[in-house]
Amino acid sequence: MTKINDISMVTAFAPASIGNVGVGFDILGLALAGVGDRVTARLTNTAGVRVSDVYDLDGKNHPYLSKETDHNTASIAVKALWEAHGNSTGVELSIRKGIPLQSGMGSSAASAVAATVAANVLLPKPLAREQLLPFALEGEKYASGELHADNVAPSLMGGLVLCPIVLLPKMMQLRTPTDVSSVLVHPELQIDTARARRSLAKRYTMKKWLSQQGYLAGFITGCATDDYELIRSSFHDVIIEPQRSVAIECFDIVKEAAIKADAFGVSISGSGPSIFALCMSVNASNVAIAMEQACRTFGLECQSWISAMTAPGAYVEGD
């Protein structure tokens, strides 16, 4: 692949994503549809990577995110990419956040992915999509303090992606049913990802570990074979969810409402507070309404998104 030399400005969109995906703590991520971040990358004559703007959902300057190169996941990722494969020109990034911060929807990952995908087009020799993972991960590492790819990988590739830390930079797009969707509800609560992670127990009994890995293997197999009942019977996170759900006040009633509406299973997206369900696509609207109502009955405002499990990954606008 060679660079098309007359391109000096590119915009890419990268979707939000569900991290952990219940039984797949740190190793399974799922792309969402219709919600994500947009980043425009522009070649400049001044060497180095800069952030010119960070806009919020309403197009205003973002009140929290930094424009300093070393303190923004997008510019950290592009800096790593440019140092490895760039040239003497510089890159300027304009970021438009579409994903709420600290929502458990992979906000920091999406910015890093969108920026990396956009900047890649401006490289002298653009890389293949999957080769971008290590660079986007650099940004994520800054945001969460840990190396896990379960938001970056699905945002980059789309669909359900398996990305065990021990196998990185290898990641695997998993086969999923085409008629199953995720329903994600984001209640208006904020959770600190790094803190949520630190509060997890460090050791687990063999019994718990065997149960969880059994469910994980069952879930992957159920997705690969369109075995809906196996997906349903496997979608139980017995390790992380019980520890994290206590911090999300509405979790139990939202989960109950979704299950009652015939969702296959419900868990926490990332470290929360977003809650997601998996269900047949034809039933997704009902599940979304049930979850939203439960949330509002609890006194919390919320937003929700429905996405096919096969939701696409990042793309370059205009391609």
- Spatial distance between the Cα atoms of 296 and 277, rounded to a whole number of angstroms: 17
Q: Which x/- pattern over 159-198 shows residues binding a copy of itself (rule: CB under 8 A)? A: ---x-xxxx--x-x-xx-----------------------
175-199 CB burial, b ≥16 within 10 A, e <16: ebbeebbbbbbbbebebebeebbee
Q: By C-beta, is 216 or 254 nearer to a copy of itself? A: 216
Contact 155, 314 (CB under 8 A): yes
Q: Does 206 bind a copy of itself (CB under 8 A)?
A: yes
Q: Which x/- pattern over 3-32 shows residues binding a copy of itself (rule: CB under 8 A)? A: ---------------------xxxxx----
- Spatial distance between the Cα atoms of 277 and 180, rounded to a whole number of angstroms: 10
Q: How many CB atoms lie within 10 A of CB 317?
A: 11
Q: How many CB atoms lie within 10 A of CB 60?
A: 8
Angstrom distances, CA of residue 70 to CA of 27, 135, 243, 255: 26, 14, 33, 39
- Spatial distance between the Cα atoms of 39 and 11, rounded to a whole number of angstroms: 6
Least distance from a copy of itself to the Cβ atom of residue 245, Å: 18
Least distance from a copy of itself to the Cβ atom of residue 248, Å: 21
Q: By C-beta, is 41 or 230 nearer to a copy of itself? A: 230
Q: Does 203 bind a copy of itself (CB under 8 A)?
A: yes
Choosing from 9, 47, 194, 200, the residue that interacts with a copy of itself (CB under 8 A) is 200
Who contacts 113 (Cβ-Cβ below 8 Å, separation ≥6)?
14, 77, 132, 136, 152, 155, 156, 313, 314
Choosing from 1, 9, 217, 246, the residue that interacts with a copy of itself (CB under 8 A) is 217
Contact 295, 254 (CB under 8 A): yes
Q: By C-beta, is 87 or 221 nearer to a copy of itself? A: 221
Contacts to a copy of itself from residues 222-281, by CB under 8 A: 224-225, 227, 230, 233-234, 236
If we measure between CA atoms, which residue out of 47, 144, 159, 154 comes closest to residue 101?
144
How many residues at the interface with a copy of itself, by CB under 8 A? 40
- Spatial distance between the Cα atoms of 202 and 208, rounded to a whole number of angstroms: 13
Contacts to a copy of itself from residues 111-170, by CB under 8 A: 162, 164-167, 170
The 3-state DSSP class for residue 104 equals: coil
Least distance from a copy of itself to the Cβ atom of residue 291, Å: 26
Least distance from a copy of itself to the Cβ atom of residue 125, Å: 25
Q: Does 89 bind a copy of itself (CB under 8 A)?
A: no
Choosing from 84, 147, 210, 246, the residue that interacts with a copy of itself (CB under 8 A) is 210
Site residues (vs a copy of itself, CB under 8 A)? 24-28, 162, 164-167, 170, 172, 174-175, 200-206, 209-218, 220-221, 224-225, 227, 230, 233-234, 236
